[in-house]
Structure 1
Amino acid sequence: MLLRHMQWFEAADLIVKGMEGAIAAKTVTYDFERLMDGAKLLKCSEFG
């Protein structure tokens, strides 16, 4: 991840934590939604 390369470890960790939470809650964009049962599809603008 670019942020880790730039040594922005705290920011990188926060992004990973947010992604993990979104995936666990099954609120994801199309690329993940099509692979998950019962997921809620969000537009990219809604996901951010």
Structure 2
Amino acid sequence: MKLPLLAIAVTLVLAGCSNTWEGVKEDSSKAYESTKETIHDATE
């Protein structure tokens, strides 16, 4: 009984971490692009 519950809990945690990691990558990419554009505009 404990093994199936443990497997479900691990699956949910890993799915949540995966979604969080995708969000971190997306936010980092947006921040990088914004910084790059700002520096480019400032040097013109």
How would you bin the TM-score normalised by the shorter chain?
0.3 to 0.5
Q: TM-score, normalised by structure 2?
A: 0.46
Specify the structure having the higher radius of gyration (Cα). 2
> Which one has a larger percent strand, Structure 1 or Structure 2?
1
